[in-house]
Every structure is written in C-alpha cells, then in structure tokens.
Amino acid sequence: MEQFFNTYFDFSLMNEYFGDVLEGFWWTLRLSILGGILGLTWGLVLAVLRQLPGKALAPVRWLTIAYIDALRGIPMLLTLLLIYGGLGTLQAEGTIPTWIGVPEFFGYPSAFWYGILALMLTYGAYMAEVYRAGIEAVPRGQMEAARSLGMSHGQAMRYIIVPQAVRKVIPPLLNDFIALMKDTSLISVISMPEVVKVGQDIYSTTFNPSALTLGAIMFLVVTITLARLVDWQIKRQDDKFQRGIP
C-alpha cells in the first residue's frame, strides 16, 4: 500500500510540479469553454437547419442529417488528426492561406485552434441531436398558433420554439459539455500542452505518474461540480413540471 501511494500520490512531486500542471489545466479550461460555446452554437444551427420545412429545402435537411450522422460516427481523435494533417498539408501546398492552415489567432498555437475546430465539429453534431429532441418536445400547436398570428417559420422558431426547447435541454447539454471537457485530453496527441500532455512530460522525466494524478484531481473538481449542477437543473425542471409551470 505504501508503494501504491508513493507511486500515485507523491505529494512532494505534486507540490514541485503544481504550477506546471495548473498551467496545463488552464489550457484545458480554455479549450473546454471556447469549444463548448462554439459547439453549442453550431449544434443549434444544425438543429434549426434540420427542421426547415418544405420540399425545396429537403437537400439542406439531408445534408445536415448526413453531417450529423458522419460526425457522430467518427471518433473525435480521427477528426482531430484529419484536421491537423489536412489543413497543414493544404497550407503547405498553397491551396489555403496560412491563417487557415496554420492558425495562430490571439497568440495561441495552431494546435489549440485545431483542437477547437475538432471539438466544435464533433460536439456540434451531438448537441444538434439534443436540441432536436427539445424542439420536437415543444407541442406542435405552438408552431401552428405562431403561424396563425402571421409569423414566418423562422420567426416562430426564433421567438417561440427555440427558447422553449433550449430550456428543456439544459441538463443534457451540460452532460455533453462534461464529455467535451474530458475529450480535450485527446488534443495532447498533436502536442497541445494541456494537462494530460504536461502530466505525460513530467512522468517521462520523473518516472512517477503523480503529476497525472494531480491532473485527474483537477478534472474531478470541475466535472463533479458540473454534475451536481446537472442534478440541480433536473430537480428544478421536475419541480416546475409537478407545479404545472411550462
């Protein structure tokens, strides 16, 4: 047991490298927050496109469904590697400009933006399905009533349907955000210095995984807090439903 704690919970090593691991975790938080915001936005756009009415817009619906199915079916790691290798190659061949192929906006490394793009594309597809469930949970009569008042489909979606749908799906969206945050660790494969990459580098130097344990603890602090927030949101919605509040 002593050997176990010395291997995984070497507090002197944790204290020595705490600043390095914390800096890596700040990168993880940046990836999570920006990737989450863009994923939420892109997912809502996809969900709305999937709900477009009429035969004329059927190709848009089919393309949206195909995109959602494809990105949900491909592992995010593979999507990340395709972005990382593809954009770099296209930029080197002069097909796309440097600011797209090797983005370094706001002084952040290109690996950061490759990761953000992979998170947005992948989790946008997952969140689109969550939004769709929320939209379809809104009674059909709401749309019919809005159209009878002279609203267009777009106006009805914007002012009536989508606001109600978003309120219904906050808990599952938070669950997707927790999953997104954990998947930021995949970005370490393209040398992004987030918490897992930093922990691995320290391990390769010290031959002790305690820095990885420290990173895991930092993850737990945030994810458990978010999990309790999800529980509170679900309880809040259940209480409203029992009181008959829409």
**For 48-99, how does the pLDDT look when each residue is reduced to its tens digit (9 = 90+)?**
999 888 888 899 999 999 999 999 999 999 999 999 999 988 888 888 888 8
CATH of the domain at 6: 1.10.3720.10
Establish how many alpha carbons lie within 13 A of residue 26's alpha carbon, considering only the half-sphere containing its beta carbon: 7
Position 244 pLDDT exceeds 70: no
pLDDT single digits (tens) 176-221 = 999 999 999 999 999 898 999 999 999 999 999 999 999 999 999 9
Contacts of 216 (CB under 8 A, 6+ apart): none
Given a cut of 60, is residue 246 above it in pLDDT?
A: no
Instruction: Please give the biggest Cα pair distance in the chain.
Output: 73
What is the domain range of residue 228? 2-243
Domains in the chain: how many in total?
1
Residue type, 34: L
Cβ-Cβ contacts under 8 Å for 226 (sequence gap 6 or more): 174, 177, 178, 181
**Residue 176 and residue 126 in contact, taking contact as beta carbons nearer than 8 Å:** yes
Find out whether 169 and 134 touch, Cβ atoms under 8 Å. Answer: yes
